[in-house]
Amino acid sequence: MNDVEESFNTSLRPKHLDECIGQVNVREKLAIAIAAARKRAEPLDHVLFYGPPGLGKTTLANVVANELGSRIRCSSGPALVKAGDVMGLLSNINTGDVLFIDEIHRLSTPVEEFIYPAMEEFKVDFTVDSGLHAKTINFPLKRFTLVGATTRAGLLSAPLRSRFGMLYHLEFYSPAELTQILARSADLLGLPCDDGMLERIASRSRGTPRIANRLLKRVRDYAQVKGSGRLSPDIVENALKMEQIDPLGLDELDRAFLRALTTVYNGGPAGIEAIAATLGEERDTLEDVVEPYLLQIGFVRRTKRGREITDLALKHLDLKRPNTTPGASQSGLFEEDEES
């Protein structure tokens, strides 16, 4: 089974654009840009992918490299602490190669400013030694393509953002697209399924391929231990119930977020810092993982004063809107952090 699992994990991501499912608009634009770059025999313009986690930003970066027939070198914003870290990457890049930086919004200011001339003019000014012996070397680079990915596009500085020639926002996937992705994954695993079971998993996957594949693996585990290995209605339903995934795909953290907003903050408005403190979670976790889907399905509103719960969410959780009285709302806490 280890060999099958390894094959599953390595084969899961598509290698070329025609193997990708969903993100039709992004794929069409990428295909044209890549074809044009290959015709001109020049590197592709710098690309930025942004959107919630799990939608395929890293996958698309690797697809771009494969379509260009180039090598890809990968790093992440937090890993590039000083200019020397970037210099090590840039000095090993050949013409047409792809440099992928995940979570690019977390680059430090010195590193970000260091790569500006690398992106624009394909050269960098690298300082060696220090003090009286310091000297700056103008280091020419081979023409490359920088592919950045971020879940927080609003945290990118304007100068860095403006240096990307192509900016693509990745949308949540439809249940039909997720079903196609799950069908491919189930086929790779040789996993037998009753009709409609993949659709049931897809409908609870929050529009995210990463979550869909994770749930498929958990359901498969349950089927092998509690059943015959086949995905039947009872097996799928019981496995998802064990994972605490409800019919809309909400997990326990999502429900805790909505319950806290309702019971502690009278339905809102409430600041995200206050909600995070109440739940004992990091603000980034709530903003990157929980909120995007709740906003997408209309369960939460973001206002200047904070987050507010909607009647749709109250109905789903079978809760009643609290009676609010002047001064009852605790939204004043951390309000200055809203809409940052």
List the catalytic residues: 57-58, 102, 151, 210
Q: How does strand 166-169 pair with strand 47-50?
A: parallel
Q: How far apart are CA 319 and CA 23, in angstroms?
A: 36
Q: Confirm if 234 and 222 have CB atoms less than 8 A apart.
A: no
Give me the half-sphere count of Cα atoms (radius 13 Å) on the Cβ side of residue 59.
Answer: 23
Q: How far apart are CA 91 and CA 104, in angstroms?
A: 19
**CA proximity to 191, closest of 2, 11, 5:** 5
Q: How far apart are CA 278 and CA 260, in angstroms?
A: 7
Directed axis angle between helix 109-120 and helix 83-90, to 10°?
A: 30
Q: How far apart are CA 15 and CA 8, in angstroms?
A: 14
DSSP helix/strand/coil, 124? strand
